[in-house]
Amino acid sequence: MKQKMHITKEAKPKGNIHDTAIRGVLMNKTALAIFLNQEINFKEKIIPQEIEYINTRFVTSKQKDRESDVIIKLKEHKIFIIIEHQSLIDYSMPYRTEEYTFEMLRQLVDKEKMHNKSYEYPSIITIVLYTGTRRWNAKMSIEIKDCIKDFKNKIGKHIVIDTSYYSDDDLIKREGTVSKVIVLDRLNKRKIIYNMNEIILEIYKTLKNAEEKEIIENYIRSSLTELINNEQLDEVIKKINKDEGGENSMLRQTIIEMIEDGKREGSESGITQVAINMLKEKCDKKMIQKCTGLSYAKIAKLEKSLQHV
C-alpha cells in the first residue's frame, strides 16, 4: 500500500465538494449509518458511534492513481467496509474489489497470530454506490470455471447500491441526507439550474435538524459557484432558511437575480450553457428566457446552432 492506514476523526462535509459531493456526505457518520441501514440488510443495524473512518487516501500499490472513496471500521468488530462511489459503470469492479481486499488483508492481518487455529481474520466488504443514469450491468464477481464437482469459486464479490432505480421524489422522501445529495448531484451534473429551486425547497421540508441543513447547504454552496459567488450564495441560503418551504416564487426570483448578476460580472458563458442544456431538455423558450435572462433572439440562435450539431 502507498501508506499506512490509520484511524481518522470524523470529517464534516465542508469545502469544495462539487465533484466529491457524495464522498462529502458519506464522511458524516449519522448520514452514512442511515443510508447503509436503508440499503443493506445487516444482521445488526449500524449505529453512528460504531463507525471509525480509516484514512481515505487508501491507495493500492499497483493503482497509484486510484483511491477508495470511504473506508470505515465498525468498532468492537473486525469488520471493514470499503465504499466506492461510481457515477459511471466500471466493468473492472470485481478485479478492483479483489485487489482492494488483498491489499487491506496484507495490512491488517496479524502475521504472528494468523498461524493459530483460533485466529479470526478481518472481514472486508466492498460496497459500490452507483449514482449514474443507466442500470448497473457489470459483473458482481469473477467466476472461476467449474472444473471440480461441487466446488464453486468466486472472487471480487461486492455489493452494488444502484440508485438509478430511484426517482428524485423517492430519494427526497427517504430519511437522511445521502439520498437528497444524490438528487442534487443529478441536477448539477446535467446543469439543470432552472428547476433546482423547487427541488431545494422540497428537500428542506424533509430535513430534521441543523446538521442535515448544514450538509445540504454545503452542497448548494459548492454546486452553484460556477454561476453565483459566495456572498450571493450566503443570501440565498438565508432566504431558504427563512422560508423553509415557503413560496417557490421567492427562491426562483432570487436565483434568477443572481444568475443575471453573474452574467453582468462576466459569467455569460455559464448562462449560455444553462440555456443550451434547457433547450436539450425541450424546455419552453419563455421559461429559458425567464430563468437565464437571455434574449429570445439569443435563445433562438442557440437552438438553431444545436440543430447543426
pLDDT value at residue 15: 35
Higher pLDDT, 197 or 145: 145
pLDDT(10) > 60: no
Per-residue cell: 108: 491488517
pLDDT digits (tens, 9 = 90+) for 118-133: 999 999 999 999 999 8
Grid coordinates of 306: 444545436
The region of weakest confidence among 11-20, 142-151, 220-229 is 11-20
Residue whose C-alpha cell reads 459569467 in the numeric block: 267
Give the closest residue to 58 by CA, choosing from 73, 48, 43: 73
The residues, any chain, with a CB within 8 Å of residue 43's CB and separated by 6 or more, are: none
Confidence of residue 18 (pLDDT cuts 50, 70, 90): very low
Q: Quick one: average pLDDT of 193-222?
A: 80
Residue with cell 468492537: 76
When pLDDT is averaged across residues 20-29 and rounded to a whole number, the result is: 82
Average pLDDT over residues 229-250: 59
The answer to whether 251 and 239 have CB atoms below 8 angstroms apart is yes
Task: Average the pLDDT over 175-180 and give the result.
Answer: 94
With 80 as the cut, is the pLDDT of residue 6 above it?
A: no
pLDDT at residue 263 in the model: 47
Closest CA to 203 of 166, 238, 165, 171: 171
Sign for the pseudo-dihedral over CA of 247, 253, 254, 255:
positive
What is the rounded CA–CA span in Å between residue 95 and residue 143?
11
pLDDT greater than 80 at residue 25: yes
Any idea which residue has 447543426 for its cell? 308
**So what's the pLDDT on residue 14?**
38
Q: In the β-sheet with 159-162, what is the strand arrangement from edge to edge? A: 7-8, 51-54, 70-74, 79-86, 123-130, 159-162
Cell numbers found for residue 232: 450571493
Residue 16 binned pLDDT confidence (cut-offs 50, 70, 90): very low
Res 231 pLDDT > 90: no
Euclidean distance between CA atoms 185 and 22, whole angstroms = 8
- Which of 21, 11, 86 is CA-nearest to residue 222? 21
Rounded-to-integer distance, Cα 246 and Cα 73, Å:
41
Domain extent listing, the chain? 7-165, 190-307
- Average pLDDT of span 79-101: 93
Distance CA 104, CA 204 (A): 39
Quick: pLDDT tens for 242-296. 655 455 555 555 555 555 555 454 445 556 766 777 787 677 787 777 666 788 8
Helix (H, G, I), strand (E, B) or coil at 212: helix
Q: Could you give the CA distance from residue 267 to residue 26 in angstroms, rounded to a whole number?
A: 32
